[in-house]
C-alpha cells in the first residue's frame, strides 16, 4: 500500500505554510491520513486489498479493490471506520490533550472531519453508510442514485454559500473547490454503480450458502434484461421468477443466469432470450 499526495494537496500545504498556517496544515495532513488509515485497516481485516491512499485538501480516498462485491455489510463497516477514527482522535485530545500546543486545532478539525463525513451524501462516508442501509429495500443502483443526488445537492449548496461570502467581500474560494470535489465524486459513483452487478458473477452461490438476504423479483418473458439488472444488489441474493403472458409460472432464474444473458444477448435483450 502506498500513500499518494494529490498535487492540489501539496499546493495547499505550501500555501498554508507560506501564509504562516503551518500548524493547521500539519494537523490537516495527519488527520486526513489517520482517517483514511482507519478505512484501510478495517478493509485489510476483511482481506480486502488496499492499493493506495490518496490525500486531497478536503479529504482522502482509500483506493481498494471494489468492496461492493462483498455485500452491503462489509462496505458499511469499512465506511464507518474513517469517521470512527476521527471521532476517537477528537475525544482523545479533548480529554487528554491538555497542555499540548496543537490540541485545540486537532480537536476542531477532527470533529469537523467526523461530522462532515457522516452527511448522507456520496462520495462522503455517510453516503456509503446510508446506501448500504438502504440495500434491504432498494437495489444498489437505486440506493446509489438517491445518495449521489444528495451529494450533488450538497455540492451546489456549498458552492452557493461560497458565492455568498465572496459577494460580502471575502476572498475565500475553498468551499467552491470542496464543492467541485464532492460533485465529481458523486458523478464517479454514478458511473461505477452501473457495473457493480458484473462483480458478483463468481460469488453468488457462496453468498447464498452463507445466508445472505434473499429478494424475489417477478418478471415476464417480455421484460428487458436491463430492467432486472437495475434491481440487482451486492447486498442480497435475487431470485427471478419468470411468468408468461397469462400469469403462469414458467421458470426460476438466478442472478448468474441474468448476467450470463446480459453478456451473451446484450443489455437490451429480453428475459425470453434467456429462458
Helix count and strand count (H, E) for the chain: 11, 6
Residue 268 DSSP one-character state: T
Q: CA nearest 10: which of 18, 39, 127?
A: 18
11 cis-preceded (ω within 30 degrees of 0): no
Contact 90, 103 (CB under 8 A): no
Q: CA nearest 42: which of 128, 110, 119, 115?
A: 128
Assign 232 to helix, strand or coil. Answer: coil
Alpha-carbon span 118 to 98, nearest angstrom: 27
C-beta neighbour count of 18 within 10 angstroms: 10
Q: CA nearest 117: which of 185, 63, 209, 188?
A: 185
Residue corresponding to grid cell 448522507: 120
| Greatest C-alpha distance within the chain | 78
Please identify every residue annotated as catalytic: 36
Q: CA nearest 144: which of 84, 202, 231, 210?
A: 231
Which stretch of DSSP H or E encloses residue 55? strand 50-56
Alpha-carbon span 182 to 61, nearest angstrom: 12
Amino acid at each position: 500500500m502506498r500513500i499518494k499526495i494529490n498535487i492540489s494537496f501539496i499546493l495547499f500545504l505550501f500555501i498554508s505554510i507560506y501564509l504562516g498556517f503551518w500548524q493547521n496544515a500539519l494537523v490537516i495532513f495527519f488527520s486526513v491520513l489517520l482517517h483514511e488509515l482507519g478505512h484501510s485497516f478495517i478493509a485489510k481485516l476483511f482481506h480486502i486489498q488496499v492499493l493506495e491512499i490518496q490525500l486531497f485538501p478536503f479529504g482522502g480516498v482509500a483506493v481498494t479493490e471494489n468492496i461492493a462485491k462483498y455485500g452491503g455489510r462489509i462496505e458499511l463497516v469499512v465506511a464507518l471506520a474513517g469517521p470512527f477514527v476521527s471521532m476517537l482522535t477528537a475525544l482523545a485530545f479533548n480529554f487528554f490533550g491538555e497542555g499540548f500546543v496543537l490540541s485545540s486545532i486537532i480537536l476542531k478539525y477532527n470533529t469537523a472531519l467526523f461530522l462532515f463525513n457522516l452527511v448522507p451524501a456520496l462520495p462522503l462516508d455517510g453516503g456509503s453508510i446510508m446506501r448500504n442501509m438502504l440495500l434491504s429495500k432498494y437495489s444498489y443502483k437505486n440506493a446509489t442514485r438517491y445518495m449521489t443526488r444528495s451529494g450533488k445537492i450538497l455540492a451546489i449548496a456549498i458552492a452557493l454559500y461560497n458565492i455568498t461570502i465572496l459577494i460580502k467581500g471575502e476572498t475565500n474560494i475553498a468551499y467552491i473547490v470542496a464543492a467541485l470535489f464532492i460533485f465529481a465524486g458523486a458523478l464517479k459513483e454514478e458511473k461505477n454503480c452501473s457495473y457493480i452487478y458484473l462483480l458478483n458473477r463468481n460469488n453468488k452461490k457462496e453468498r447464498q450458502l452463507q445466508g445472505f438476504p434473499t429478494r424475489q423479483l417477478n418478471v415476464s418473458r417480455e421484460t428487458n434484461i436491463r430492467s432486472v439488472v437495475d434491481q440487482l444488489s451486492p447486498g442480497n441474493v435475487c431470485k427471478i421468477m419468470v411468468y408468461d403472458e397469462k400469469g403462469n409460472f414458467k421458470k426460476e432464474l438466478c442472478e448468474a443466469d441474468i448476467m450470463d444473458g446480459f453478456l451473451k444477448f446484450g443489455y437490451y435483450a429480453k428475459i425470453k432470450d434467456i429462458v
